[in-house]
Structure 1
Amino acid sequence: MVTQTDLDKSISYEEYFNLIEKLVQEGGTTGNDKSKAFIDYTKLNYSRMKRVFKTTIPSSEVLNTVDCLNDKLTWIVLSESWCGDAAQNLPVLAKIAETNPNISLKIVLRDENPELMDQYLTNGGKSIPKLICLDEKLNELGTWGPRPKFLQDWLHKEKANPTMEMSELKEQFQIWYTKDKGQTLQREMILLLKSWLNKECISI
C-alpha cells in the first residue's frame, strides 16, 4: 500500500517535467542505469512529453466528469525519465488531472522507491508507468498501467507468438501512440474512475 511517506517523496508533474528538462541539459537520466542509451532515451522522451502535452485535447467525456467527480483523489505514478511508455502516457494523465481540481497527480521514481514498486508488479516485472489511485484516507481504489490495454494485449500476443523483434514492436507502439493522441487512455481512465468510485453520473 502507498503510505504518507511515499507521498511525501512524490513530486508534481510540473516538477517531474522540469527535472527531465534539467537532466537533458546536463546529459543525465533518472534511474540506476546511467548508460548513454538511457541518457539518449531521456532526451528523446523529453521531446515526446512536450509534444504529447501540447497536442492532447481533453475529450468531452473527460470534461463531463468534473461536475460528477467530487471525491478528492490522488494519482501516484511510478515512472522514470527513460521510459517510452511513461513519456507517452504521463502527459495525458496530467491533462486529465488538470481539468479536474479533485485529482492530484503525483510522481515517484521507480528505482528510488523499490519497496513501493515491488508491491505493484505487472506479471512479476517492474513495468512502468504504474498508477495507483488513492482516496483522501490513502485507501487504494485501483491501479492502471503500464500502457493502454490494446498495447498490453498486443505485447502479450507477441510474447506468445513473436512476429517481430522487440525493438520493432516498441517502434510500432510509438507509432500507435502518435496516431491515438491520448484518446484511448482518456477513455480507459474514465471507465476506471466509474468502476472505482461507483459513479453512475460518469457516462461513457
Structure 2
Amino acid sequence: MNNTVHVIDQDLINGALDYHGYRDMIKLLLQERKTTGNNHSDEMVAYTKMNDQRMNRWDKKVMINEELTEIVKQLPAMNWLIITEAWCGDAAQNIPFIAKLADLNEKINLRLILRDEHPEVMDAYLTNGAKSIPILVMLNQQMEEQGKWGPRPEPIQKMVLESKQKPSLDKLAFVESIHKWYADDKMQTIQQEFIRLIKNFNTHE
C-alpha cells in the first residue's frame, strides 16, 4: 500500500479523465482510425472498435445487485483510479461496471489514466510481473489505498494463467471463450468480488 504515496497523488487524480471523457476520447480516436498508445495497426483499431461496442452494451445492461448497491452508497468520499487502454478487452468488459458502481455514490470520484502514459503507476501495480489491465486502485481522501481490483475476475484470471502453460493454444478461440464467459456471467462474479473487497476497507472520513 505504500506504493500509492509515491505514484498516485491529487495532481494525478485531478489531471485524469472521468468515464465520459474516456469514452469520448475513444470515439474520437476511432474516427481517426487510431487507438490509445503507439500501435495504431488495423488489428488494434479493430479491437478498440469492438471494445467501444462492448462498453455501449454494458452501459445499458449493467445491473448492480441490492447488497452491493447499499454497501457502495455507504462509502465515504473516495478516489477510484483505473489504469487502462482502449484496445484492452478486459477493460471494456469491466470498466462500465465500475463506472456504474461509482455513480451510485456522489462522493466517489472515478478517474482513468492510460497505462502507457503512466509507466510509474503501472509498475507499482504489476500482476505477477506483467502490466495487466485494467487495474482499479481505491483510495480515501488522504490518498491512502483502501483496496485494489484487477485485471479481471478471478475465474478469468485463472484461465489466463493456465493458458500461458499451453504453447499450442488457439489464441483466437481462447479470447472468444473469455468474452463468452463475460456474456454468460452477466457481471455476477465481479459483484461478489467487490462485495468482499469493500467489506475489507478500513474507511474513514
Q: Say whether the fold is shared (TM-score over 0.5).
A: yes
Partners of 1:21 and 1:183 lie apart in 2 by 28
Cα distance, 1:164 vs. partner?
3.4
Tell me which moved more, 10-19 or 190-199: 190-199
The one of 26, 33, 58 aligned to 1:52: 58
Cα distance, 1:31 vs. partner?
1.0
The one of 139, 142, 157 aligned to 2:162: 157
Q: Equivalent residue of 1:188, what SS?
A: helix
Query: Are positions 1:13 and 2:19 aligned together?
Result: yes
Give the letter aligned to residue 106 of structure 2. Answer: P
| Alpha carbons of structure 1 residues 36 and 140: separation in structure 2 relative to 1, 3 Å | same
Partners of 1:163 and 1:189 lie apart in 2 by 34
Equivalence for 1:115: 120
Cα distance, 1:171 vs. partner?
1.1
Contact 1:97–1:103 under 8 Å retained in 2:
yes
| Alpha carbons of structure 1 residues 67 and 35: separation in structure 2 relative to 1, 3 Å | closer
Give aligned pairs, total: 198
Partners of 2:109 and 2:154 lie apart in 1 by 23
Equivalence for 2:176: 171
Partners of 1:106 and 1:131 lie apart in 2 by 10
Q: Deviations over 1:13-58 (max 9, x none)?
A: 0110111111122211011212111111111111000001111111
The one of 93, 100, 105 aligned to 2:98: 93
Query: Are positions 1:125 and 2:110 aligned together?
Result: no
Cα distance, 1:4 vs. partner?
2.1
Partners of 1:191 and 1:116 lie apart in 2 by 25
Partners of 2:165 and 2:30 lie apart in 1 by 37
Cα distance, 1:74 vs. partner?
1.2
Partners of 1:105 and 1:8 lie apart in 2 by 10
Cα distance, 1:102 vs. partner?
2.5
Cα distance, 1:197 vs. partner?
2.9
Partners of 2:10 and 2:72 lie apart in 1 by 26
| Alpha carbons of structure 1 residues 67 and 83: separation in structure 2 relative to 1, 3 Å | closer
Partners of 1:68 and 1:4 lie apart in 2 by 23
Equivalence for 1:181: 186
Cα distance, 1:190 vs. partner?
1.7
RMSD of aligned residue pairs (Cα, Å): 1.8
Query: Are positions 1:31 and 2:23 aligned together?
Result: no
The percentage of counterpart residues that share the same residue type is 41
TM-score (norm 1): 0.90
Partners of 1:80 and 1:161 lie apart in 2 by 26
Unaligned runs of 5+ in 1: 200-204
